[in-house]
Amino acid sequence: MRKWLLAAAAAAVIAAPASVMAQAPIIIKLNHVVANDTPKGKGALKFKELAEKYTNGKVKVEVYPNSSLFKDKEEIEALQLGSVQMLAPSTAKFAPLGAKEFEALDLPWLFKDDETYAKAMKGPVGKWLFQKLQAKGITGLAYWDNGFHMVSANRPLLMPTDFQGLKVRISGSKIADQYFRLVGSIPQILAFSEVYQALQTGVVDGCENTASNYLTQKFYEVQKHITVSYHAHLQYAVIVNSKFWNGLPPDIRTQLDRAMDEATDYTNSIARKENEDALAAIKASGKTTLHYLTDDQRKAWQTAMAPTYKWAKGRVGQEVLDLIAKELNVNMN
Ligand code: LMR
């Protein structure tokens, strides 16, 4: 009997490494399309650091920046299929998920400043939009900020007529498609990773984006004129596959929620400064000319693009527009 016990104990010792091996870390693949040195890039790395720390290494987060695993459209498919577990796409790219209501956030001059944007996303608007995702098997964890869009071309864009005939790259939103059409340009959807080359070779003439993206993707090197118009806002939703997320051990999920909350506060606290610094670096490069709209020029853009609001109703539905109107105290017509 004793001999048998000893043999069992020995077997248990031999088996120990196997049981340790069986507890391999849970891997979260987080794919995104921008550089590490941007608000989203830094946010992803912060989440990795905190998630691994709070779970004592039980979770390992693999961050794939710059479309290194998947490009825009593919990453959404990959999330649905479970080839990646976490993404942070711009909300302008949510129509393929069956949630085009997110495009309401792309309305021109919707948010008057960073604070108004942040308040809206923390309140009923942000929550309502995340509910739309639930039905699609996707869970929204957080909104990450990346400030306001500028717009560029190889000619100065100061009045709406300057856009006439311009081929402008957009990221996916039909709302952006609409406001660029209203000023006479021809919008074209392209994956983010293809924009630099498309600008360089003349496949498109112009684009819109935030300063941090212009800098890190070097768009400013192939665009002679940038208008610091801040005509629309760029924000991300951090999303996970619900089946994966709900299948995690509850204590792990709690720690990941904590890591995400802190990474979100961090990202949103650096976004403005990151973009200000990026704009200063673009200016210092001397490779492009920055333009700022006068009040009259801005009003002319706003008037030309205003019909987007009425048009949006058919695209995103009245409900989200009413919610936003109430929250921001703005007129949606
Ligand atoms: C774009 O495609 O222009 C942006 O959505 C890229 C990003 O993620 O900031």
Q: 90 C-alpha vs ligand 1 centroid, how far in Å?
A: 6
Q: Kindly list the distances between the CA atom of residue 219 and the CA atoms of 42, 110, 253, 317, in Å, as whole numbers in the listed order.
A: 20, 25, 39, 34
pLDDT category at 263 given cuts 50, 70, 90 is very high
Give pLDDT, residue 273.
97
Beta bridge partners of 62: 29
Average pLDDT over residues 229-241: 98
pLDDT category at 257 given cuts 50, 70, 90 is very high
pLDDT digits (tens, 9 = 90+) for 295-312: 999 999 999 999 999 999
Q: Which atom of ligand 1 sits closest to the CA of residue 213?
A: 9
Average pLDDT over residues 234-261: 98
In this prediction the pTM is 0.92
Q: 92 C-alpha vs ligand 1 centroid, how far in Å?
A: 9
Average pLDDT over residues 168-187: 98
User: Among 129, 178, 122, 185, which residue's Cα sits nearest to residue 153?
Assistant: 185
142 within 8 A of 245, measured Cβ to Cβ: no
Mutational test site, ligand 1, from 32, 33, 217, max ligand atoms within 8 Å of CB: 33
Give pLDDT, residue 10.
42
Q: Which atom of ligand 1 sits closest to the CA of residue 236?
A: 8
pLDDT digits (tens, 9 = 90+) for 76-102: 999 999 999 999 999 999 999 999 999
Q: Is the pLDDT of residue 47 over 60?
A: yes
Q: 234 C-alpha vs ligand 1 centroid, how far in Å?
A: 8
Give pLDDT, residue 332.
78
Q: Is the pLDDT of residue 1 over 90?
A: no
Q: Which atom of ligand 1 sits closest to the CA of residue 172?
A: 2
Q: Which atom of ligand 1 sits closest to the CA of residue 208?
A: 3
Q: Is the pLDDT of residue 9 over 60?
A: no
Around ligand 1, the residues with Cβ closer than 6 Å are 33-34, 90, 146, 171, 192, 209, 213, 234
Give pLDDT, residue 124.
94
Q: Which atom of ligand 1 sits closest to the CA of residue 169?
A: 3
Give the C-alpha separation, 149 to 146, whole Å. Answer: 9
Give pLDDT, residue 314.
97
Give the C-alpha separation, 121 to 111, whole Å. Answer: 11
Q: What is the DSSP letter of 302?
A: H
Q: 16 C-alpha vs ligand 1 centroid, how far in Å?
A: 47
Q: Is the pLDDT of residue 8 over 50?
A: no
Give pLDDT, residue 329.
87
Q: Which atom of ligand 1 sits closest to the CA of residue 191?
A: 2
Give pLDDT, residue 22.
59
Q: What tokens appear for 173 in the block?
A: 């939103």
The β-bridge relationship of strands 138-148 and 233-241 is antiparallel
Q: What percent of the chain has pLDDT over 90?
A: 91
Give the C-alpha separation, 66 to 74, whole Å. Answer: 13
Mutational test site, ligand 1, from 90, 93, 190, 223, max ligand atoms within 8 Å of CB: 90
Q: What is the DSSP letter of 90?
A: B
pLDDT category at 23 given cuts 50, 70, 90 is confident
Q: 2 C-alpha vs ligand 1 centroid, how far in Å?
A: 67
Q: Is the pLDDT of residue 11 over 50?
A: no
Q: 61 C-alpha vs ligand 1 centroid, how far in Å?
A: 22
Q: Which atom of ligand 1 sits closest to the CA of residue 146?
A: 9
Give pLDDT, residue 15.
46
Average pLDDT over residues 62-68: 97
pLDDT digits (tens, 9 = 90+) for 215-231: 999 999 999 999 999 99
**Token match 């200000």: residue?**
276
Q: 265 C-alpha vs ligand 1 centroid, how far in Å?
A: 20
Average pLDDT over residues 129-153: 96
Give pLDDT, residue 7.
45
Q: 208 C-alpha vs ligand 1 centroid, how far in Å?
A: 10
Q: 171 C-alpha vs ligand 1 centroid, how far in Å?
A: 7
Give the C-alpha separation, 205 to 287, whole Å. Answer: 17
